[in-house]
Structure 1
Amino acid sequence: MTIRIPMHIDAKLLTLTQWLSPAFPVGAFAFSHGLEQAARNGWVESASDLLEWLQDIMHHGSGFSDAIWIRLANDADTEADVLTLNAQCRAFAPSIERLREAERQGQAFARVTSDVWQVKLPALQLPIALGAAARQEDLPIEAVITLYLQSFLGNLVSAAQRIMPLGQTDAQAVLAKLNRDCIDIAEKTKTAKLQDISSSAFLSDIASMRHEKLQPRIFQS
């Protein structure tokens, strides 16, 4: 049996994959989310270490939190609500580098999507900007969160290849093993609220704080 997918759904998914592509000009390649410091400390030295590190971030740290921020922004009814969420998102940042990471990528995302898709977006933190833009473009929020998380992980795996001995095959194997985590977190956050945002990925947060003084370094975070 042939399954026919309506063209309007195709267009929305293509828009979403374009937004979350490594080629989309938000400068994600410049940030390691503290991974550079973790590798320097000897906390992440192998593919198995990297997998465990990323799973902790996804389920207990910024991955889970970002998924909730995206949902909350997507549910916001007014620009004032979005701006309030953005201020709260900034307040939850565990370090100045994490704050700048989300801020600079969010500003770039808002600028490009506003120019190309004519969505109305002020300068926002990345997960807030994505959630708000997805609402305006009527993109499926489950897909938005799932693909955002995969894109986030893909960037960190790519960063790991530049700072530790990790080959292309092992890198892709790590990313493939995390696909289920992306789906699970999108599902887990369906009914999440602001009070559900927390982080117990302590080493990841500590790494982002220590990275501020790391020299020499490749990444901005």
Structure 2
Amino acid sequence: MSDLLTLVQWLSPAFPVGSFAYSHGMEQAIAAGDVTSADDLAAWLEDILRLGAGRSDAILLACALRGEAEDRLAAVARALAASRERWEETMAQGRAFAEAITGATGTPMDPLPYPVAVGVAARRLDLPPAQVAAQYLHAVASNLVSAAVRFVPLGQAEGQRVLAGLHATVAEIADQAAKARVDDITAFAPRADLAAMRHETMDVRIFRT
């Protein structure tokens, strides 16, 4: 139970990685009218989890958790960032995560892309890879739901219904990622990637990505 609570702490909004400042390009999608309702949000997040960074990050995390070479995984994570802001998102959160882990545990940790950093840190926890990946994906989805609640805006109840509706998807992808290898990574979420690129030129922005 202690290890599970530790993981929940690492992936909670209270852990100082600054996740609240990132929308993964969704701010641009909302401004463009692509995400204006709870149904739109659910479809958008389903695509990110199944086809975009959600699945890719979960596989990278699982590979790191199994002890695969951190340098190689970090290089793949950087290469998968389709825009400057997405690169900064994964690198900044990973750096903040490593600093927070170092401060909390007293054990130095090198900065790595966020999913790789979480996987490396989770090696010290006695938890199944699928459970770690599921918690990570749930935290990602929860953060984006929170962003949409603030910016669409959606009601809190609508946001929670969307998040609950993604639980089965999160569990399925986590189970797949736990058994996957780096070579199994595929991604095709062009609308999300384009939104992240266009976000860089927005005149007024609330989020960093």
Query: TM-score, normalized by length of structure 2?
Result: 0.96
* Alpha-carbon distance, 1:137 to partner: 3.4
Amino acid at match of 1:95: S
Q: Give the aligned partner of residue 55 of structure 2.
A: 64
The corresponding residue for 1:126 is 114
Distance 1:58 1:50 in 2: 12
Deviation at 1:120, TM superposition (A): 4.1
Alignment match of 1:169 (pick from 157, 161, 164): 157
Q: CA deviation at 1:117?
A: 1.9
- Work out the CA distance in 2 between the residues paired with 1:141 and 1:121: 20
The root-mean-square deviation of aligned C-alpha atoms, in Å, is: 1.2
Of residues 133, 136, 143, the one that matches 2:124 is 136
Paired position in structure 1 for 2:142: 154
* Alpha-carbon offset, residue 161 of structure 1: 1.3
Tell me which residue corresponds to 2:38: 47
Deviation at 1:91, TM superposition (A): 1.3
Partner SS state of residue 181, structure 1: helix
The answer as to whether partners of 1:16 and 1:139 remain within 8 angstroms in 2 is no
Match of 1:212 in 2: 200
Q: Are the counterparts in 2 of residues 90 and 125 from structure 1 also a CA contact under 8 Å?
A: yes
Q: Report the Cα offset of residue 184 of structure 1.
A: 0.5
8 Å CA contact 2:133–2:178 kept in 1: the answer is no
Which residue identity does 1:15 align to in structure 2?
T
State how far apart, in whole Å, the 1-side matches of 2:123 and 2:108 are. 11
Q: Does 1:73 align with 2:80?
A: no
Q: Which has the larger radius of gyration?
A: 1
- What is residue 167 of structure 2 aligned with on the other side? 179
Q: Percent identity?
A: 46
User: 2:4 matched to which residue of 1?
Assistant: 13
Runs of 4+ in 1 over 4 A off after TM superposition: none
The worse-fitting range, judged by mean Cα deviation, of 183-192 and 27-36 is 183-192
- Structure 2: distance between partners of 1:214 and 1:200: 24
Contact 2:129 2:178 in 1 (8 A): no
TM normalised by structure 1 equals: 0.91
Partner of 2:72: 84
Compute the displacement of 1:191 (Å).
2.3
Residue identity opposite 2:159 in structure 1:
A
